[in-house]
Amino acid sequence: MTTRKIRLALRAYGVGGPGQHSLWKDPRIPKNASIDIDWYIAQAKAAEHARFDALFIVDSQFIDATYPPHYLNRLEPLTLLSAVATHTRHIGLVGTLSSTYNSPFNVARRFASLDHISHGRAGWNVVTSLDSGTSGNYGLDEHLDYATRYGRALEHVRVVRGLWDSYEDDAFPADVERGLFVDPAKLHALNHEGEHFRVTGPLNISRSEQGQPVIFQAGVSEEGRNLAAHVAEGIYAPGGSLDAARSYYSDIKRRTAGTGRNPDHVLIFLGAQPVVAGTDEEAHRLSREIFEADNDFDRKLAQFGRSFGAYDFSQHDLDAPFPDVAHLAEKSGRTRGTEIIRRAREENLTLRQTVSAFTEYRPSPFTGAPKTVATAIAEWFAAGAFDGLNVGFRTHDDLQRFVADVVPILQEEGLFRTEYEADTLRGNLGLPIPANRWSVA
């Protein structure tokens, strides 16, 4: 029995996220799944029954008609998670909210409210907003550049954490005899003045059972990795090869240690979409069928523009060299956009060849019969590729199969819990409760 356990989070995409544009056609998928709270509650309960750590809700605030079906019509994360909280008891509830397009006070109050509603199970996935078109929805002429967005994000998180500490943990004696509801000496204004924000405080809500919501972050750029090293307690990392995952894992742990933080207090969740069937052959056949269901070049061409500010590549000759659009990636999906441009130039690819190269069939490394999938998960975990998996499934049936057939094998190997260790998200992740800064002082 090993003391280090695999963490599992479930990401829910309703009628179909990236690479799943045709999922809504599946008769097992409710056509309104992405706005049906009962569908989310059922997903959360199934994951909680299997002792998953968290339900993860992604979000963005810009769309056009080329975006995946789930993106076009979905619930706001904190509203959704507040409803799910009343139907669950243990699973963590992690919502995505942009530090670029939200004020710290509002973010602090909303997540603190979710933390109380859920009795200490809230988590904030901090993003800086990939889609440059988001600026137009907030009355801005253009999207902020990378350096500004990430500098703002670091200060934003620090302000939010300061607001979460407005009340010391024993600030409410509620002493009827003395007529003392709150001890004013234990209520603290923040009085923050920084480069991006001026926030007075205090916040009008106390800390929860877990002290503060858990901070998650997702990003692979240099700025994103540095932000993670400074503030993240959980990271949603992209999938890819074993070598790439190990490199990312070791890099984040190294950067975290470099800031003076304990690397064990930063848990890396690798994105994964397991495909489980009765045999390895059947699973790989199913995996290929899933890919072919969305293997539409025109759709892939339209989606290709997201890393370049939703740029319309259809205006270019498909068989001409990849167009010069590097400037469009600078304020949008720079990391992926830069990689696309680099490869297209080095390999002298046309636009058609570039799109095909970046959207070709790549089966999940966690594809096969239950034992095969469990073994692959265990091997990647032992190799230092992740602390946990952020898994997604096409249908509820696929989730149930993973829960029924793969999770028990991981439990038998001592790699995954059989019971929750705590009632809070921090407790189940093995993360410490942050000390209130004023109590420490």
CA dihedral of 240, 246, 250, 255, whole degrees rounded to 10: -10
Output the CA angle 212-216-220, nearest 5 degrees: 155
Taking the model in full, what pTM does it have? 0.93
Q: Which residues of the chain have pLDDT under 50?
A: 1-2
| Position 387 in a domain | yes
The set of long-range contacts for 237-245, using a CB threshold of 8 Å and a minimum separation of 24, is 237/268, 237/269, 237/270, 237/271, 237/386, 238/270, 238/271, 239/270, 239/271, 239/272, 239/273, 239/364, 242/365, 242/380, 242/383, 242/385, 245/270, 245/380, 245/385, 245/386
- Which residues on adjacent β-strands are paired with residue 263? none
- The answer to the question of whether 236 is labelled as a binding residue is no
The predicted pLDDT at position 391 comes to 97
| Same domain? 152 vs 18 | yes
**How many domains in the chain?**
2
| Position 402 in a domain | yes
| Same domain? 175 vs 322 | no
Choosing from 334, 358, 382, the residue where a domain stops is 358
Measured CA to CA in angstroms, residue 130 lies from 61, 62, 332 at distances of 10, 9, 5
| Same domain? 146 vs 84 | yes
Interhelix angle 351-358/297-304, nearest 10 degrees: 90
| Same domain? 227 vs 248 | yes
| Position 203 in a domain | yes
| Position 2 in a domain | no
| Same domain? 231 vs 265 | yes
Give the residue among 91, 93, 83 at the shortest CA–CA distance from 56. Answer: 93
Burial class for 226, CB neighbours closer than 10 Å (0-12, 13-18, 19+): middle
Measured CA to CA in angstroms, residue 2 lies from 5, 37, 101, 217 at distances of 7, 37, 43, 27
Domain that holds residue 349: 296-358
Query: 288 and 265 in contact (C-beta within 8 Å)?
Result: no
The predicted pLDDT at position 336 comes to 82
| Position 286 in a domain | no
| Same domain? 392 vs 349 | no
The predicted pLDDT at position 2 comes to 47
| Same domain? 261 vs 142 | yes
- Which residues on adjacent β-strands are paired with residue 327? none
Structure-block tokens of residue 285: 């056949």
| Alpha helices in 347-431, H assignment, sequence order | 351-358, 370-382, 396-401, 407-412, 425-429
- Which residues on adjacent β-strands are paired with residue 127? 98
Alpha carbons 350 and 318: distance in angstroms, whole number: 7
Query: 398 and 405 in contact (C-beta within 8 Å)?
Result: no
Choosing from 358, 381, 403, the residue where a domain stops is 358
| Position 15 in a domain | yes
Q: Please, what sign has the CA dihedral across residues 393, 398, 404, 410?
A: negative
What backbone torsions phi and psi does residue 175 show, to the nearest 5 degrees?
A: -90, 105
Would you tell me how many other CB atoms lie within 10 Å of the CB of residue 182? Answer: 13
| Same domain? 425 vs 320 | no
| Same domain? 238 vs 180 | yes
- The answer to the question of whether 221 is labelled as a binding residue is yes
Which helix (DSSP H) or strand (DSSP E) does residue 125 occupy? Answer: strand 122-127
| Same domain? 93 vs 136 | yes
Choosing from 317, 339, 358, the residue where a domain stops is 358
| Same domain? 123 vs 248 | yes
| Position 1 in a domain | no
Alpha-carbon Rg for the chain, nearest whole angstrom, is: 22
* DSSP 3-state of 287: helix
Output the CA angle 133-135-141, nearest 5 degrees: 105
| Position 291 in a domain | no
> To which residue do tokens 């009765």 refer?
278
- pLDDT tens for 212-221 read 999 999 878 8
The predicted pLDDT at position 335 comes to 78
Query: 184 and 175 in contact (C-beta within 8 Å)?
Result: no
| Same domain? 15 vs 41 | yes
Q: Please, what sign has the CA dihedral across residues 13, 146, 224, 151?
A: negative
- pLDDT tens for 99-114 read 999 999 999 999 999 9
CATH of the domain at 21: 3.20.20.30
